[in-house]
A and B are shown apart, each in its own frame.
Chain A
Amino acid sequence: KQEVTQIPAALSVPEGENLVLNCSFTDSAIYNLQWFRQDPGKGLTSLLLIQSSQREQTSGRLNASLDKSSGRSTLYIAASQPGDSATYLCAVFWGYNKLIFGAGTRLAVHP
């Protein structure tokens, strides 16, 4: 069964810390992996898309890596800010027409 697991489920840190959010997935035969941000009561904002042939993608203070063979992806957030507080979702596309989501990591960055 294809599943996505995110660790930790919740994280609370002081402003300025560098963070690592983990995502693991069963079955390495993925097409792509996408990281999203969800604010309470809001929709999903796409952060980074990594195709299966890529190892990492960067956007501003965000960097996502992909290791297909070990079934892992990591989202790195540099110099965290209170505005980064949200739930971060990892989603994997294995084909079969659907993205499968992890349960998310709830991040709180306090001043």
Chain B
Amino acid sequence: NAGVMQNPRHLVRRRGQEARLRCSPMKGHSHVYWYRQLPEEGLKFMVYLQKENIIDESGMPKERFSAEFPKEGPSILRIQQVVRGDSAAYFCASSPLPGAVGELFFGEGSRLTVL
């Protein structure tokens, strides 16, 4: 059973471009979480999704950021018009159950650098 797969592992964008980060959860997991880790800071919750539904996006910046988890395919975190402050590691986690019960398994992360 493969782990949580994230790609790309490293992404470089210039200011104003778009970044798309993909996350394939572990097989059988229908709960996906996105976290951001700024340099020298802790992990901060961004969004929690189940298949085709955004359950909690209270950690997402109000503008430029969006997430989806379609019926088929990976979860996507999309950042439009990137700025230097978006440079960070973005981690995806999946769980077979809601987080109150299930263990979260994290991917290796996608490291975004904005020039």
Contacts and interface: CB of A to CB of B under 8 A. Distances in A.
Interface stretch (B67-75, B79-87, B98-106): B98-106
Interface string B85-115: 0000001010000111101111111010000
Contact of A101 (B4, B6, B43): B43
A19 interface: no
Contacts, number: 62
Interface of B: 4, 6, 33, 35, 41-45, 48, 55-56, 58-59, 91, 93, 98-101, 103-109, 111
Nearest to A49: B103
Contact of A98 (B42, B99, B105): B99
Interface of A: 31-32, 34, 36, 41-46, 49, 51, 89, 91, 93, 95-104
B107 A43 contact: yes
A70 B3 CA distance: 35
A91 B108 CA distance: 18
Given A36-B106, A43-B91, A99-B104, A93 B43 contact: no
Nearest to A93: B99
A102 B101 CA distance: 20
